[in-house]
Amino acid sequence: MNNISYNYKSVKNIDNRYELIEYKDANKDPYKKLINICNNEKLNMIGQEGKNYHPLSSTWFEKQVINKTDALDVLKKNIYNYFTNVCKSKASENAWTVYKDYLHKCKGKRYTKGFIAFNARATNEYRNKSVLAYCINLYMNPIEKGFFIDRKISIDEDSWALAEMIQWIWRSRIRENKSIDIYIPSSRMRNLMKNWLSTFEK
């Protein structure tokens, strides 16, 4: 917007210090083999996109509460099932997120304390977390989006959503190059992650 020049750099942990280094191609990184995405059809059904239907968006959550549907109970059971039966993980290993306004509707036995706000940034507090549930379908705030559109700046909302999700995932132990399991029920968000990982070498 302000014609500021820039160039890309990568960040690398060198002797327990993060340093800027020359930008490197993503396909040289090991992340594809470190991220195991849940492909359970039954668990993922709740997040299946349709025409003019965007499940797990903030608007969707709001409508479920207003209309008093059982969708959030289904999501709650899915999260519990994923942690307890699919991954058989310990409570201390679990991390999950929904929009904070609906935390009380989705929290459940054995995983509530693992909640991490979807916009959490720059913390090592959760670096032991190895089993994750990212249960939102993220879209830009309409006011923020409108700010750029009014100034004739194109917005790639999918790339933005992917970047936000990656930020959240990197609160976990993957920051130490250790493998993680993750449940991403939103078909849109799951496909964004899969497409990104497809750019990496096996």
The pLDDT score that the predictor gives to residue 160 is 96
Q: With contact defined as beta carbons under 8 Å apart, do 196 and 66 qualify?
A: no
The pLDDT score that the predictor gives to residue 27 is 54
Task: Give the three-class secondary structure for 164.
Answer: helix
Q: How far from each other are the two terminal CA atoms of the chain, in whole angstroms? A: 37
Question: And the tokens for 27?
Answer: 């396909």
Q: Please state the domain extents for the chain.
A: 27-197
* pLDDT tens track, the chain, 202 positions: 888 999 988 887 788 888 888 876 555 567 889 999 999 999 999 999 998 899 999 999 999 999 999 999 999 999 999 999 999 999 999 999 999 999 999 999 989 999 999 998 877 899 999 999 999 999 999 999 999 999 998 889 999 999 999 999 999 999 888 999 999 999 999 999 999 998 876 5
The pLDDT score that the predictor gives to residue 135 is 98
Report d(CA 184, CA 193) in Å as an integer.
9
Report d(CA 138, CA 158) in Å as an integer.
9
The pLDDT score that the predictor gives to residue 165 is 97
Burial (CB count <10 Å: 0-12, 13-18, 19+), residue 42: exposed
Distances (CA, A) of 192 to 6, 35, 86, 146, 189: 26, 13, 23, 23, 5
Position 4, amino acid: I
Report d(CA 133, CA 194) in Å as an integer.
15
Which of 148, 165, 195, 188 minimizes the C-alpha distance to 60? 188
Which of 134, 138, 111, 126 minimizes the C-alpha distance to 181? 134
